[in-house]
Structure formats: C-alpha cells, structure tokens
Amino acid sequence: MISNDPMHSTLSRHETIRQAPAGRNYSYYTLSNAHDSRVVISDLGANLISWFARDRYGRVQDILLGYPDVTGYETNPVYFGGLIGRWANRIEAARFSLDGVEYRVDSNEGRNHLHGGDAGFHLALWDAERDGDGLLMKYVSHEGDGGFPGTVRVAVRYCLDDQDALTIDFSATSDAPTPINLTSHPYFNLNGGTADIYDHILSIEADSYLTIDASAIPTGRAEVSGSAFDFRQPAPIGPRLAWPDPQLKLGHGFDHCYCLPPLLNEAEPREVATVFDPGSGRQLTVATTAPGLQFYSGNFLDGVQGRKPDPYRKHDGFCLEAQAFPNQINGPDKEAVILRPGQVFRQITRYALSLWP
C-alpha cells in the first residue's frame, strides 16, 4: 500500500492478474479515500474496472458494469470502462482528409470507424505509476496505428478525492498532425446492478443534440425542446425510452451526443449532467471541459456476461462520455480536433458521487 496524506486518496497495486501477450503482467490499481470508496483501474486499456461506493443505507456496491475476469477486457467488445482513443465515437466511412492527404482508418462498425478501431487505446497495455495522490498512466501510439498519422504520446491521470469525485485528466502530444478525441467509457448503474436504469433520473445541461442516421453518423443539430431528448429538467430515463421518437428508433435507444454550453474557463470543468437513483440515494454529477457529451442507454447489453450469474440485459447501464463531436474530423470545425506538433491536447472530466437521504 502506498499511503499519502490521510485527507487524500491512497493507491494500492494488486498482485499480477495474468501474463499479457507482450510479455508483461496485467495489474489492477485501487484508489481509496477516507470514506472507503474504491476505484479499481487496470493497466490493460487504462480501464475503469469497478467503483465501490456506499448507498444511503451504508451498503457498499459496485456502481460500474464489467466483465467477470480480465479475459473479457482483452477484447472488450462493449468497451466497459475503456480509455477510448485515438478517436472516440465514429468517423464516417472510416476516412478523413488532413492537410490535403486522405487517410483510411480501421472500419470496425460496418463501413465506419468506432472508438479507435482494432488498435484502440482500450486494448493497449499502459505504463502506470504513482503521481502524488493519483495514478498516472502513459501510452505511445505509433505512426500508422489504426491508420492514423503521427506518433502520439498520451497520459491520463486518475484521482479520487475525499468528496467521492473521480477526476480524469487527459493529455497528449504528437509529432505530426493527427485527429485526437479521447474519452472514458464507464457504464454506470447507481443501484449497484439490482435493477435496470429505468428509474434513474437524468438531467443534461444542453439545449441541442446531434441527430443521427441509421449508422449513428450525425446528420445535423436539433433543439431538444419538445422531444424525448430534453433533459434540461430532471426526468426518469425509462419513460423517455418509450417515447415514439424516430431518433430513438435509429439509435435503439439513446446513443446521441449533446452539444454542451461554452466553457467559461478552458481549464475548469463545468457541470453538465446529473443522474439520481431514488432507490440507493446515489447521485452522479458529471463535469467536463469537453464540448460534447454522449448519452448512451446501454442498448446493446443483451447477453453480455458480467460479474453476476445472469448476463446483462438491455438498459442495465448507462454511459455519459465527454468528448468532441462524432465525425467532427469530417465537418467544418475539423481544425478543433487536430493535434499538431507543439500543441498539447488537454481534457478534464470529473465524475462525482453524492448521497441524498
């Protein structure tokens, strides 16, 4: 156990899980705080494995979905807890043009690129080290990985404070121009997996979202007002899933990116969403510096084997992924997602837990 000031989190490293194909060993790391909350992270994929937290009755439960053992994370087809890169979400037709050169990247969702493709960061073996009261993980993505240009050096720092806030601080540099869009992909269920997410009450601070086509590529920007997508006032997720909205049919539920309000301070995350579970009393607050927030209602979880005897079912978990906009590299604002030599990509996302009586 590595201990720091008692007012900050502590970090421990588990014994080896199993030998990795690269000849190294997988390890799990646990961040703990003064309230006995624990966040477990793997150096395989920099994945968030578990988050053990108390409910209003003092019961400790895991509020993250995940596989029963490390072998599931070696392929991770649903991206449980993954650190997603180089490109989170989708790139249409798995191609883009950059400085007059066309690039073709992995097409791993039909004709489109999704979540970094076959060389996604969620499948990589990261280097991990203590960094003050947090865990710092580093990875080098080489020129040509997944079809992307440039060698990119990525770092992510995880820190769990005594207010039960997990801060994820991303940074990256590149030796050549390349698209960059990083996110964390935890699946939450605030009741600890005792039921689905239908009773979870969601709010999102956004006036608009991106509509999609049948392959989940954005087609335009729409106002949330008067639609199933209006969570400016808190509303339970389950009834909204039942709305007869064509966009919900295309996405098989919610799988859409919300357009967040501008930042007042580029270095300071602003609160953009809350989710409250009436049964447990847990509330999750999301703050980020990213321009977009993908709300995914776990539409393709049917039959995925998790840590409990019965497989997961549709809508057993939800994701709130802070990121740039899907397919932005092929849009008019593409320059905002290009990382050039001498620049530093930064993004901070914070997931904070609280309890309501």
**162: nearest Cα among 35, 12, 10, 11:** 35
| DSSP assigned state of 314 | T
Q: Residue 344 is which amino acid? A: V
CA atoms within 13 A on the CB side of 117: 23
The Cα 243–Cα 222 span in angstroms is 17
Name residue, tokens 């590529």.
Answer: 217
Active site residue: 185, 200, 256, 315, which one? Answer: 185
CA distances, 162 to each of 39, 165, 268 (Å): 12, 7, 19
8 is catalytic: no
Q: What's the distance, CA 337 to chain centroid?
A: 18
How far is 321 from 115, CA to CA, in rounded Å? 12
E strand or H helix at 352: strand 345-355
Q: Which of 71, 103, 101 is nearest to 87 (CA)?
A: 103
Q: Decide if 266 is catalytic.
A: no
Query: In terms of Cα–Cα distance, which of 272, 319, 261 is closest to 84?
Result: 319
Catalytic residues: 185, 321
